[in-house]
Homo-oligomer: A and B are copies of this chain.
Amino acid sequence: MEIEPARPGARARVRAEVTHELLAIAKQHLGIHGAAALSLRAVARDAGMVSSAVYRYFPSRDDLLTALIVDGFEQVAETTARADASVRRNDLRGRWMAIGRAVQAWAIEHPHEYSLIYGTPIPGYAAPEATIVPVQRAAATMVAILSDGVASGAITSQARALSRAEKAALAPVQTAFPDLPPDTLARGLLAWMSLFGMISFELFGHLHNVVDDKAVFFEHELGRLADLVLGTA
């Protein structure tokens, strides 16, 4: 957010360290009290600074939030990428399952960070362009499965053809991945949204008195979504 890239003398290095420390404290506060209660003053207090000093690092509370949001998406991107990398390339189902489990595990470990990026938007806060790239990276791993599947012939476009209007609706994402058939893209997108629907339901308590062993249930339904992604449903 604020780290000057000037040649890193001692000052710049310390600055980067302090910025990082403030962010770490903010993340911790986020994890305890949630985003709405995140306060510059409290972060400053925990950092052993006076509240106004934080303004040397973050011009406002919103900038702190932006940094946390970017960090959240980067965590998701990293988590999914690592999970994906641990599976044989042509085991597409295994890759989807690994990614799904990874996102879910991350969400359960970092519920407030998950909520910050996939939950209710913060009132009065508008996400700046700085968040665009991390957001895309977070979903990129999943799209890679589709690309690989189409390239290898493991995924073929399904029966259910899309109308002209439906294809047009997908234009933005289609532009980013011109090689993917619209139907494949749409199925991947639906599965992706479903994954987050499942995670949110579990995390936000909507499975209370509905499902007992959430992990078993999640695994089973994640498998069903794999069928959707791969076109084997």
Contact = CB atoms under 8 A, between A and B. Distances in A.
Interface size classification for chain A: 35 or more
Given A168-B213, A210-B172, A198 B193 contact: yes
B168 A220 contact: no
Given A120-B120, A165-B216, A194-B193, A173 B221 contact: no
A189 interface: yes
A166 B198 contact: no
A190 interface: yes
Interface in A165-209: 165-166, 168-173, 186-187, 189-190, 193-198, 200-201, 204-206, 209
Interface of A: 33-37, 115, 118-123, 127, 132, 135, 160, 162-163, 165-166, 168-173, 186-187, 189-190, 193-198, 200-201, 204-206, 209-214, 216-217, 220-221, 224-225, 228, 233
11 contacts: A33-B123, A118-B200, A165-B213, A166-B220, A172-B211, A172-B212, A173-B209, A190-B198, A193-B194, A194-B197, A196-B197
